[in-house]
Amino acid sequence: MSRSSGKLNIIDQNTYQDLKHEHKDSAPRILRSSKYKNKHKKEQQCSLFDFLIVPRKKQKHINRKKRPNLIIARNSLAFHPKRKGKTRLNPKHRVTRLKRIIRSFRQLKLRSTQDENVVETVEQTCGSHSEQLPAKMEIRSTDPELDCVRQEQTINHLSPAHQLHSRRFRSYCDNCTTKSLKELTTQLLSDLERFQKRAYSNNEIKARAHPRLVVGFREALSRLRINKVKLLILAPDCEACSGEGGLDDTIEELKSVCQQQEVPYCFSLMRRELAYALRKRAQISCVAVLDFDGANETYKQLLHELNEARVLYKELTAS
């Protein structure tokens, strides 16, 4: 109940009309604000709709802690993004320059073996006739490229370490393949491959930017030119392929670059053993280690064993 009484505000109707008529022109009209109107507004009666509770719409729960790139990286095996650029119905398989040289060298070797078979059949048919001997020499000296292939096949037999070198241990090797060296190399590669897979599962973008190791002659040579390689592992049973740009030429180039930059390189595991250590199906001829953090002890032991294997190789080839 208000403190001020309403009895004092009661006046006569005639006096109210007179006051209204007098103050109509003289007194200015008082403008009432919205605050005043709301204050003296009549209270509205409540209804049942005021007590009605309307349920809110359910919103999707978004976890802001998870990043979209991490979700894609974890499901990278199942997620196949759309490839940019044109797509062909019959895609062209690109063949590298080194692969083309190897294929041409294989064809030359096949031709040389076929010519040798022809010569053997001629010798058997001719018997002891001396008139057919010049014809055999003409068949062998028809193609100069075939003569180069035959000369390289005879070099291995004329080398001083022909008893040590073979198809499984080529003449470009500088160290012996001991059992402990093989075990250390396998352990180092398996550890680095495990670290690299773990990095790919956490963040694929960072793992691609900072790889632990790379596979192949081209990748190894490109990383060597920018001084990123800490250790180079080559297979001792690479296919014989001479000529400019061939396998033998690339291996010699890798060895010369490693010697200039003082990068250690070793011939420890065969191609199949390298693939087994890295859990690959295809045979691997070259592996370049870029970061051995986490396997420092194995790396030190491998370098120590590599020096001993090189000393042993020099002792065997010196005699």
Q: In what order do the strands lie in the sheet with 265-267?
A: 213-215, 286-289, 231-234, 265-267
Q: Alpha-carbon distance 149 to 112, whole Å? A: 8
List the chain residues with pLDDT less than 50: 1, 68-79, 130-142, 144, 155-160
The count of C-alpha atoms lying within 13 angstroms of the C-alpha of 168, restricted to the half-sphere facing its C-beta, is 8
CB 290 within 8 A of CB 223: yes
Query: Residue ranges of the domains in the chain?
Result: 179-318
CATH architecture of the domain covering 179-318: 2-Layer Sandwich (3.30)
User: Mean pLDDT score of the chain, rounded to an integer?
Assistant: 77
Q: Alpha-carbon distance 172 to 247, whole Å? A: 11
Residue recorded with tokens 């095996």: 77
- β 213-215/286-289 pair status: antiparallel
Each residue's pLDDT tens digit, 23-53: 655 555 555 666 666 666 666 667 777 777 7
Q: What is the pTM of this model?
A: 0.61
**Please, where are the H alpha helices in the chain?**
13-22, 34-39, 68-74, 97-126, 133-140, 144-158, 179-202, 204-209, 217-225, 247-261, 271-277, 296-318
Q: Alpha-carbon distance 275 to 211, whole Å? A: 18
What is the reported pLDDT for 130?
Answer: 46
